[in-house]
Amino acid sequence: MSLNAAFLGLGVMGYPMAGHLANAGNTVTVWNRTAAKSKQWASTYNGTACPSIAEAVRDADFVFTCVGADKDLLEVFEGPDGIIENAKAGAVLVDHTTASAGVAEHIAKLAGDRGLGFVDAPVSGGQQGADNGQLTVMCGGEHQAFDQARPLMDCYSKALNLMGPVGSGQRTKMVNQIAIAGLVQGLSEALHFAEQAELDVQKVVDVISKGAAQSWQMDNRSATMIAGEFNHGFAVDWMRKDLAICLEEARKNGSRLPVAALVDQFYGEVQDIGGSRWDTSSLIQRLRKKSS
């Protein structure tokens, strides 16, 4: 069954995600801050590019957003030209931005006051997962809104779960980023040690990846880390934004994140050596630079 959906935010994640919705036979309207990107998407996927948020969401039963951060979310949701004021009655709003739990709860309150459903639904899997329709989606919200939006989110998901009330999706994504930070730093140190020990690093990985050291990061990033290639899409700048959210939430709930805080500082050093747009596996470059 074809559904009417709007998708706002056509970055490296949103562009293919909206494409999967269109390829599944849904009617999709799009809006992007850079209008040329909207027109390019509409030409590729036979959708409709709209010049304003209001026009994009007016007839949509589902409105998806995937923008940069809290500030960007508030800009697209609030105000006379925003989603809240212009979405049709009964529409379900799904936000795929990695943002704070607080902003998700704020938007959910605005949506509820207007009779709109809301699901916070950050994703994991990176650009490759978005391109291949294999994202992990962590959701927070009411069961009814989640169940209504689920068939659409299935278009680009390999795992899709409702984690609890609004904000639970964002908090689950924080857990994900905390875990990744430690894993990537550990893998960087291990590969760097192997290099300094003058071992055959790829051979080392081939052996230890069959044991307890194995991880997704090792399987998917070790070869490019060894080669010094860091163009896998999820930039250091964005990881620092995410870790800042994690550390702020930790201050609120009393949890202790010494490793995440340290790795955040290390990513700052990667930025200082010109790696702001390198992907997160570039932590190893910091170690190489210090040893050179």
Active-site residue set: 173
Task: Give Cα separations from 243 to 6, 73, 75, 193, 284 (angstroms).
Answer: 29, 18, 22, 26, 18
CA 204 – CA 224 distance, rounded (Å): 15
The residue among 240, 206, 205, 286 whose CA lies nearest residue 98 is 240
Q: Which residues pair with 164 in a beta bridge?
A: 140
Q: Which residues pair with 136 in a beta bridge?
A: 124, 159
Inter-residue contact 32 to 66 (CB < 8 Å): no
CA atoms in the 13 A half-sphere facing the CB of 113: 9
CA 170 – CA 192 distance, rounded (Å): 33
Q: Strand, coil or helix: what is 207? A: helix
- 90 torsion bin: left (phi>0), alpha (psi -120 to 50), beta (else): left
Pair of tokens at residue 154: 């299935």
Measured from the Cβ of residue 131, the count of other Cβ atoms closer than 10 Å reads: 19
Q: Which residues pair with 117 in a beta bridge?
A: 92
Q: Burial letters for 81-105: b for 16+ Cβ neighbours within 10 Å, e otherwise?
A: ebbbebbeeebbbbbbbbbbbebbb
